[in-house]
Amino acid sequence: MDFQIITEQNIGKLTFVKNTDIRTDIYMSLNVKQGTWFQNPDFGSQLYKVKKVTGPNLILAKQYIQSALQWLINIGYATAIAVEAQAGTLGHIIINLTVTQANGMVLFYQLFNDVKTGKIQWSPVGGPSSNFIQP
């Protein structure tokens, strides 16, 4: 993506500020349901398919995230993606995500996937929260 997405009151808004990292790419890759992006039906995540917090679904959640972000490695934007998934409270899956950009900058995210609604909540982990994308 060319421009940053910021959030105000949990609503993502596109800005005309040039990106200096791949945070918007990560945001879009995980928040767009795979099969719904008009330019590429393979783009996006299948995380919305996880409807219960179970051991096998934690593995699926991890695989869905890795798959959604793999294109960043394929085109050279990222060099590594690490995903951990664990059961949270109240029907949430807690996901710890680490992405290493091609320039060596490491981005840390903690996601809370609400399996009932399919919505992803983002929390910044380290770094300036003003530059962190959170819906």
pLDDT tens figures, 29-50 = 998 999 998 888 999 999 989 9
Q: What is the mean pLDDT of the chain?
A: 82
In whole angstroms, give the CA distance from residue 83 to residue 47. 13
What does R_g of the chain's alpha carbons equal in angstroms?
14
130: confidence class by pLDDT, cuts 50, 70, 90: very low
On the CB side of 95, CA atoms within 13 Å amount to 33
One-letter amino acid for residue 20 of the chain: T
Q: What is the pTM of this model?
A: 0.80
| CATH classification code of 3-131 | 3.10.450.40
DSSP 24-75: HHHHHHHHSBTT--TT-TT-SB-GGG--S--HHHHHHHHHHHHHHHHHHHHT
